[in-house]
Homo-oligomer: A and B are copies of this chain.
Amino acid sequence: MSPSPSKPVPAYVQIKDYVRLQIESGIWTSGSLIPSEHELVKQFGVSRMTVHRALRELTVDQVLNRVQGAGTFVTSHKYQSTLIAIKSISDEIASRGGTHRCEILILEPTVEPRALEALGLDAGDRAFHSRLVHFENDVPIQLEDRFVNPHLYPHYLEQDFHTVTPNVYMTREAPLQRAEYVITARMPDATARHRLHMDIGEPCLVLQRKTWAHGQVATEVTLWHPASRYRFAGSM
């Protein structure tokens, strides 16, 4: 039953497991005060740094809540909010063992007010606009419509996005600081529907993302996915 008899479990991990077990088994209830670091030091026969590390990491994991001077408590709000993981399209296809291909529909400058506003640029300025379709094994699964800040990516229009996706290019060029995401369900317009080879009446799962770099809006992208061929999945 134990094919790998090696791997000694670090003391701080054992303490973390112990704490988690006390909570899961209901011995330490939500919101209650747990033993102090000093008591756990005596109980486990380790130094305080070791106990402290275990409790600190459980605080990061939202399992415990520590108040200096008062004590350590079991977190009461659990699984109230939750996270869904979203990968980049090329990684995702690669991880499934599929072949990625990309078709470029638009790659040009634009003065659309909508683009300038999204990027926080002045009315007289210009932006870059690209529109691509990503295929997995020759089936379209994502329509990528993107506005790019030309002051951060002056050579954006000269890239060959057949070989490097805009996402990968942009993360290479400038360190991204922050991003905001919105997931919605929307009906595609006729041209988008044709590009994605969708039946009439089929909705799209849409991810819109705005990303900042160097304190400015770097890019705003809208990703359209056919509902029948795409989903966001995650676990925790």
Contact, CB under 8 Å: A179 / B86: no
Instruction: Answer yes or no: A3 CB below 8 A from chain B CBs.
Output: no
Instruction: Answer yes or no: A69 CB below 8 A from chain B CBs.
Output: no
Residues on the B chain within 8 Å of A60, using CB: 60
Residue count of chain A within 8 Å CB distance of chain B? 48
Instruction: Answer yes or no: A68 CB below 8 A from chain B CBs.
Output: no
Contact, CB under 8 Å: A203 / B186: yes
Instruction: Answer yes or no: A204 CB below 8 A from chain B CBs.
Output: yes
A207-236 CB mask vs B (1 if < 8 Å, else 0) is: 001010000000000000001000111111
Interface residues of A in 81-97 (CB under 8 A from B): 81-88, 91
Instruction: Answer yes or no: A112 CB below 8 A from chain B CBs.
Output: no
Of the A-B pairs whose beta carbons lie under 8 Å apart in the complex, a sample of 15, sorted by A's number, is A78-B175, A78-B176, A79-B171, A79-B176, A80-B91, A81-B91, A83-B86, A84-B86, A180-B235, A182-B232, A185-B204, A185-B205, A201-B201, A203-B227, A205-B205
